[in-house]
Amino acid sequence: MKILLTGVTGQVGWELQRTLMTLGEVIPVGRSQLNLAQPNTIPHIIREIQPDLIINSAAYTAVDKAESEPELAMTINGVAPGIIAEEAKRLGAAIIHYSTDYVFDGANTIPYTEEDQPNPQNTYGKTKLAGEEAIASVGVPHLILRTSWVYGLRGKNFLLTMRKLAQEKEEIKVVNDQIGAPTWNRVIAEATAQILSQSRQDVSNFFADKGGLYHLTASGATNWYEFAQAIFTYDVQDDKRKLQKLIAITSKEYPIAAIRPAYSLLNSQKLTNTFGLILPDWQKSLELVLAMNN
């Protein structure tokens, strides 16, 4: 199986390069080779490579910056995935694409299922939903995996931001009224590989049967303040830390450009029922990440 992997320098893409190695020939392409901000260049690259499967882990992920760059965010997150899907269909290939909990408005009090109606409240969420809809409308065999609060030891994410701030400041304020599930990028990549391993190298037919939209997040629930607390609890060997006090605040006390959903837990039961996968609890993953790094 020939696998074209986009977004190889991103959090999920970087891990996918390792987890996909046993499943086929992985052809990783970065932004210099396949720039989703220039959709007209996409067909040529895909036709040249002729993949059996395209995994699109590239995305515009700067949630607040998207409010001032809506057209660029929509091009990368909304338009480009549709073009990738069209090219995959033309080749008889399949596509895997990653989306976000931010397609929901946060009004729920129980975890969102794939049947719940999206209602994104920020530009990032709107563009990611547009990408989902573009892929689905093409009619290509596909798998769309919505995940949440992605973190790891590379790129830009909450874990690395907290560790950096803790070395620079004695006090850090973190919001405690947004509920979600932090999900390790490696867990996402490994779950993707486990799903693909069930396809017996016939991904297009496999997705025609079992494809569609799935939620894929860590088990459990927390808020950003508790997530930060856990980071500093498990990161015991950080001797450069200046941090003395972690302060819980409300979202209103921390004004930012993009509205975040107050509640964005995703129900991953469909993933379990279809593929037999249960993602580990977010705290266990975080403890493992920090143990590896210390």
Among this protein's residues, is 124 annotated catalytic? yes
- The conformation of residue 78, written as its DSSP 8-state character, comes to I
Given 124, 151, 214, 225, the catalytic residue? 124
Return the closest-CA partner of residue 266 out of 167, 181, 202, 208.
181
Separation of alpha carbons 57 and 14, rounded Å: 9
Helix (H) or strand (E) holding 47: helix 42-49
∠ Cα 175 11 45 (to 5°): 135
Helix (H) or strand (E) holding 143: strand 142-147
Separation of alpha carbons 121 and 117, rounded Å: 13
Query: Which residue's structure tokens are 């220039």?
Result: 38
Separation of alpha carbons 21 and 41, rounded Å: 27
- Strand 179-180 and strand 142-147: pairing? unpaired
Burial (CB count <10 Å: 0-12, 13-18, 19+), residue 191:
buried
Residues 6+ apart with CB under 8 A from 279: 183, 187, 191, 216, 217, 218, 219, 268
∠ Cα 269 272 277 (to 5°): 135
Catalytically annotated residues: 124
